[in-house]
Amino acid sequence: MVLQVFNTMSGKMEEFKPLRDKHVGVYVCGPTVYDWAHLGHARTYVAFDMIVRWLEFRGYSVFYVQNITDVGHLTQDTAEDKIVKRAREERIEPMQLVEVYMREYFRDLDSLGVKRPDISPRATGHLIDMIEAIQSLITKGYAYEVNGNVFFDVSKLEDYGKLSKIKPEAMLEGSRFEVHPDKKNPRDFALWKRADKNTILKWWSPWGTGFPGWHIECAIMGLKYLGRQFDIHGGARDLIFPHHENEIAQSEAVTGQKPFVKYWLHTGFLTINGEKMAKSLGNYVTVRDALEKYDAEAIRLFVFSTHYRNEIDFTDKKLKDAEANLRRLYNTLDSLEEAMEVSVERELTDGEKAFEGRAEKLRGEFVKAMDEDFNTPRALAALFELSKEINRFLDEQEQLSRKLLKKVYDSFSELGKVLGLFQKEKSREIGEKIADDLVKLFFDLREELRRKGEYELSDKIRARMRELGLVIEDTAEGSKWKLS
């Protein structure tokens, strides 16, 4: 079975064949770092984390680029940059704001077990590349300059709109945006914007001081780090138009090579009460707040309970259910560990062979589901079925073959890990080890205090330890401790 992916460009499932053998280049549009990451962002980045993990599981070597938007993201054509606006409101340097929220973004996504991209290029670090590309677009006749602003001339491309399938006449329909007066055609989009005297973030360019448009940054950073053509480009579906459509227009016009990207993958929205979770709507739950309330791996499980292309509605109940489901999976891991401790070295019985066959079949179902456009809800159904099957089998049997249990344990934990679950073993072990050492430390300290005759303090420690469930018994041979 080969991996199939749904390509927004063709609107179909396609066999996944990377451009360079086993090497896969992935670009996912990164966050605009002017505020806390919310669960909507988490949905998209957890989904792409799963996609990258699955590609690696399938033997590909993935080079993952995810930018940081630190300039140029305007709320509309004539409005202010989101970062500059927020920095002005908070009366701080825009780059200070960027630094704060970029660090917090990484902290949040680390907590969610999202592996960091190989590189996280920042738009402000690529001004020279952008200016060079804009200059080349003007020279080739794809862009024009008016009053220090540079626009992409959409009429120069016959296939503009091929990703979003939006007809030219429909592109501005229903748009609330005010059209920039310097544009020849309302559909044209800004590559470079002129700075006025109040603009804080600005750079020198052949067209005067200004700043780049949002779409040019991703086109340029994609080209720079992944080449003129690469395999996967992703983001949530609101980026299809205009952001990704414009990225294609600019990149293909600069390089003359098509297609810029082989597979376009888009995530569905995370909603709350049926409405897209968004900063601008004020209906968001930050990742930080969610992590106070819910287990990080339960958040992942919730995200994977729906196919990445579909909408997913956030509710407290769904997160609680995900927590209960996560515990079930961990319990299965624990039961397997316990069974391994009392297992025996011997050949498999017929009953064990039959169980091994059922476990392999369910693993096959998991893999097949993931190979069909990363179908996590179906893969999870197979994983939970496997978990049930294991528990049923362990309940029925006394002593089992060690070889079989080890194989099932490895397989079960490998499938969980490819979804970024089961990361806790280690931290739990580390936590338990530290707790053991701390108990010993207090115990030794108390012994020393007693030897020095400082009974008041040593009794206080004993009382506190008892409150924590640790009982200290003083005997003729010395003190001992146990759990109450």
Binding test (CB under 5 A) with Zn ion, winner from 26, 29, 39, 370: 29
Interacting stretch for ligand AMP, rule CB under 6 A, among 109-117, 262-270, 409-417, 440-448?
262-270
Contact 104, 37 (CB under 8 A): yes
Instruction: Establish if 235 lies at the interface with ligand AMP (CB under 6 A).
Output: yes
Least separation in angstroms between CB 179 and ligand AMP: 22
Q: DSSP class of residue 167?
A: -
Taking residues 267 to 306 in sequence order and writing x for each that binds ligand AMP by CB under 6 A, - otherwise, the string is x-xx-----xxx----------------------------
Q: Which residues contact 470 (CB under 8 A, 6 or more apart)?
A: 439, 481, 482, 483, 484
# residues near ligand AMP by CB under 6 A = 18
Closest-approach residue to ligand AMP (CB) = 40
Least separation in angstroms between CB 196 and ligand AMP: 24
* 267 contact choice in ligand AMP, Zn ion, none (CB below 5 to 8 Å, kind-dependent): ligand AMP
Complex with ligand AMP: residue 269 or 422, whichever CB lies closer: 269
Beta strands in 201-358 (DSSP E): 210-212, 230-236, 261-267, 270-272, 275-276, 312-313
Binding test (CB under 6 A) with ligand AMP, winner from 16, 27, 41, 53: 41
Closest by CA to 343, choosing from 400, 397, 393, 394, is 400
Binding test (CB under 6 A) with ligand AMP, winner from 18, 25, 31, 121: 31
Least separation in angstroms between CB 129 and Zn ion: 15
Least separation in angstroms between CB 31 and ligand AMP: 4
* 41 contact choice in ligand AMP, Zn ion, none (CB below 5 to 8 Å, kind-dependent): ligand AMP
Which token pair is 85?
């606006």
Taking residues 183 to 222 in sequence order and writing x for each that binds ligand AMP by CB under 6 A, - otherwise, the string is ----------------------------------------
Backbone angles phi, psi at 26, to 5 degrees: -125, 130
Alpha helices by DSSP H, 206-306: 214-226, 245-255, 287-293, 296-304
Quickly tell me which residue has 């002593």 as its tokens: 399
The interface with ligand AMP within residues 50-109 (CB under 6 A) comprises 69
Quickly tell me which residue has 């893999």 as its tokens: 367
**Rounded CA Rg of the chain:** 28
Residue 119 burial (CB count, 10 A)? 14
Instruction: Establish if 130 lies at the interface with Zn ion (CB under 5 A).
Output: no
For 429, what's the count of Cα atoms within 13 Å in the CB-facing half-sphere? 5
* 124 contact choice in Zn ion, ligand AMP, none (CB below 5 to 8 Å, kind-dependent): none
* 226 contact choice in ligand AMP, Zn ion, none (CB below 5 to 8 Å, kind-dependent): none
Rounded distance, CA 29 to CA 214, Å? Answer: 11
Rounded distance, CA 16 to CA 95, Å? Answer: 40
Complex with Zn ion: residue 29 or 359, whichever CB lies closer: 29
Least separation in angstroms between CB 52 and ligand AMP: 15
Instruction: Establish if 26 lies at the interface with ligand AMP (CB under 6 A).
Output: no
The sign one gets for the Cα dihedral 192, 196, 199, 200 is positive
Least separation in angstroms between CB 328 and ligand AMP: 27
Contact 422, 414 (CB under 8 A): no
Complex with Zn ion: residue 29 or 163, whichever CB lies closer: 29
* 348 contact choice in Zn ion, ligand AMP, none (CB below 5 to 8 Å, kind-dependent): none
Binding test (CB under 5 A) with Zn ion, winner from 143, 218, 223, 369: 218
Contact 328, 387 (CB under 8 A): yes
Binding test (CB under 6 A) with ligand AMP, winner from 236, 383, 400, 405: 236
DSSP structure string for 367-394: HHHHHBT--HHHHHHHHHHHHHHHHHHH
Which token pair is 216?
């040019």
For 102, what's the count of Cα atoms within 13 Å in the CB-facing half-sphere? 18
Interacting stretch for ligand AMP, rule CB under 6 A, among 58-66, 148-156, 235-243, 422-430?
235-243
Pairing state of beta strands 230-236 and 261-267? parallel
Q: Is 79 helix (H, G, I), strand (E, B) or coil?
A: coil
* 218 contact choice in Zn ion, ligand AMP, none (CB below 5 to 8 Å, kind-dependent): Zn ion
Residues that bind ligand AMP (CB under 6 A): 29, 31-32, 40-41, 43-44, 69, 235-236, 238-239, 267, 269-270, 276-278
Residues that bind Zn ion (CB under 5 A): 29, 218
